[in-house]
Amino acid sequence: MTAAHQSNNSNCNCQSIRQAARQVTQLYDRHLAPVGLRASQLSILVNLSRSGPRSINELATALVMDRTTLGRGIKPLERDGLIAIGDGPDGRTKSLKLTSAGRKKMAQAMLYWEDAQSAFETAFGSAEAIALRASLDRVISIIPRED
């Protein structure tokens, strides 16, 4: 066992989940690099594609993200014309919308995402990946979220 692997052995669920999440995110980020997106940015584009326009708060809730973190994450997407930020229905909120350039970039990125998905499942195992997603979905559903 390597020293790096030994340091990852922990009784702390939070530490283990965060370390795994960072490592998996790095894998996806490497695959998405040729299209100039990070995994977190692709998640935003995909969510807006599926849901249509959303407020920042709604999107943060859907992505299980802190609103401030999401705010930082959408700035480069807006700068690059991939999303548009406009007034929400009540005038007090901002609404996020995927642009046509965002749809094109997302479609291009999905090919690289599929490669990342395949690389992960090859290394981890397809059945194990399905079970892992089910377990993580359960974690998300049972842990109360503080807003």
pLDDT tens per residue, range 33-82 = 999 999 999 999 999 999 999 999 899 999 989 989 998 999 999 999 99
State both tokens at 53.
């326009």
Mean of pLDDT values over 88-101:
87
Q: Which residue has the tokens 């705010």?
A: 71
pTM here?
0.86
- Residue 67 contacts residue 78 (beta carbons within 8 Å): no
Residue 92 is predicted with a pLDDT of 79
Closest listed residue to residue 55, CA positions, set 82, 80, 81, 90: 90
Return the percentage of the chain with pLDDT > 90, whole number: 73
Indicate if the alpha-carbon torsion angle 103, 105, 106, 108 is positive or negative: positive
Average per-residue pLDDT in the chain? 90
CATH class of the 15-141 domain in this structure? mainly alpha
- Looking at per-residue pLDDT, the higher value among 114 and 147 belongs to 114
Model confidence at 20, pLDDT cuts 50, 70, 90, reads very high
Domain ranges for the chain, please list them: 15-141
* Residues 6 or more apart in contact with residue 147 via CB below 8 angstroms: 61
Model confidence at 1, pLDDT cuts 50, 70, 90, reads very low
Spatial distance between the Cα atoms of 126 and 14, rounded to a whole number of angstroms:
24
